[in-house]
Amino acid sequence: MAGVFDIELHDGDSINQDESDDDIVENREEEYNRTTNINTILESDNLERVQLSEQNVNAGQEKTGPQDFELCKILGEGGYGKVFQVKKVTGKDKGSIFAMKVLRKASIIRNQKDTAHTKAERNILEAVKHPFIVNLMYAFQTGGKLYLILEYLCGGELFTYLDREGIFLEDTACFYLSEIILALQHLHNQGIIYRDLKPENILLDGEGHVKLTDFGLCKEHIEEGTVTHTFCGTIEYMAPEILTRSGHGKAVDWWSLGALMFDMLTGMPPFTGDDRRKTIEKILRGKLNLPLYLTPDARDLIRKLLKRQVSQRLGSGPEDAEQIMNHNFFEHINWQDVISRKLEPPFKPSLKSADDTSQFDEQFTATVPVDSPVESTLSESANMIFQGFTYVAPSVLEEMCAQPRIVNARSPRKGFLSTGSLHSLSSRSPDGHIRTTSHFHQHRHHVVGSNNMEDTEMADIGPLFNF
């Protein structure tokens, strides 16, 4: 898949000179006719000439494009494109509901980092299959746009449920954390760092189980002991080593898990300030204040996940997720039951049908769905950047026997995005003194590939949909 997978040759790489017999084709001189003229063969009347087309090249594969999907609803919108709820109108999975993420090529290629993140997201979605990670069903492109067709997650964001409940009971948090841990463990085993764990990027399927979405900030090819230096993520959940740019590895996801756990149990992340710089200052030097109502096991796990020294952080060693799974907070969890989806979800979405969009913001769903025309056309060389983008899931090629269930769009936490109002006693806070800032969620500081803390802030419209 040229143009999608980056292959690097390092100085230490060498070609194995001791080739096996399978790699050698013997040239028997007596069997080779040097007098053969290729032009003579081509001019022969005995040859059948066939025009190459999509119908006779890779004919066994299903060809898809925008024309194969009917737009139903808008689920989200951002600077680079839109996300639609769509219905498949052709093929074996005709009538199935999906989420269609549409990205404008011209917007993406302006920034090398955005191009790299888009390619990484598509590659990771193809490579990673897991019960708690969103499934990519199709990927295709037109002259001006990229299309990702994902399973429709009708349960909505975990963000929405957390906003509605204020805080979760520890048993509820334990359920969600256990599924998230297994998803992160699977990514880490594939050499992938997630780097943007937060309630907005965690969706629920129709039964209430977790699905991680939005892989645009992931980093591939990270092995044990290697680090990367990109400054990216969402500030409130960002590990200190990302902020200091000292090099980070898989342990950043366990810091984010600790911040998420704190958010679930208290109503907000552990370190927040009135602006980005104050938030960063607290993450790097602030004191971790844990409410007295937390159980000793919960307090201990949060403290061990939010260790600023990476070597002291739970999960930072070679055992990775196993260290966290063995903590007393999860002593009643049967991990085999978790991966088998046998645990009963604490919240089951109230849905009328498979295409229900009630868990999404009416600001988008009430809008007439239109895939806007492309304003500019890329040159042939620019389009080569996206060569190899097309994909059809094996489950589609083999047999599509069950309807996918899931998608999700941004639903801002109530009371925090309305200008001019300060809701320090929002439903997210069980007690006024716990919320350390009155308008924390007015601005989610979502930073992507920035070399300066102040110069990049992405439009963040929710899971799957951070463009």
Q: Which residue positions form the known binding site?
A: 75-83, 101
Please spell the DSSP secondary structure of 383-430, one letter per residue.
Answer: HGGGTT--EE-HHHHH---S---B-----PPTTSSSTT---TT-TT-S
d(CA 159, CA 198): 8
CB 260 within 8 A of CB 197: yes
Catalytic residue among 68, 196, 263, 320: 196
CB neighbours of residue 380 within 10 Å:
7
CB 158 within 8 A of CB 176: yes
Instruction: Classify 194 in phi/psi space as left (phi over 0), alpha (psi -120 to 50) or beta.
Output: alpha
Dihedral sign from CA coordinates of 34, 37, 42, 44: negative
d(CA 255, CA 316): 10
d(CA 77, CA 151): 18
Instruction: Classify 320 in phi/psi space as left (phi over 0), alpha (psi -120 to 50) or beta.
Output: left
Torsion of CA 237, 241, 242, 248, to 10 degrees: -110
d(CA 212, CA 131): 10
In 130-189, the DSSP E strands lie at 136-141, 145-151
d(CA 79, CA 213): 18
Q: Buried (b) or exposed (e) across 354-378, using 16+ Cβ within 10 A?
A: ebbbebbbeebbeeebebeeeeeeb
* Residue at token pair 């269609």: 100
DSSP code of residue 206: T
CB 180 within 8 A of CB 204: no
CB 55 within 8 A of CB 67: no
For residue 14, give the amino acid letter: S
Q: Which residues contribute to the annotated binding site for ATP?
A: 75-83, 101
Does 460 participate in catalysis according to the annotation? Answer: no
Q: Which residues pair with 212 in a beta bridge?
A: 133, 202
CB 180 within 8 A of CB 257: yes
Enumerate the active-site residues.
196
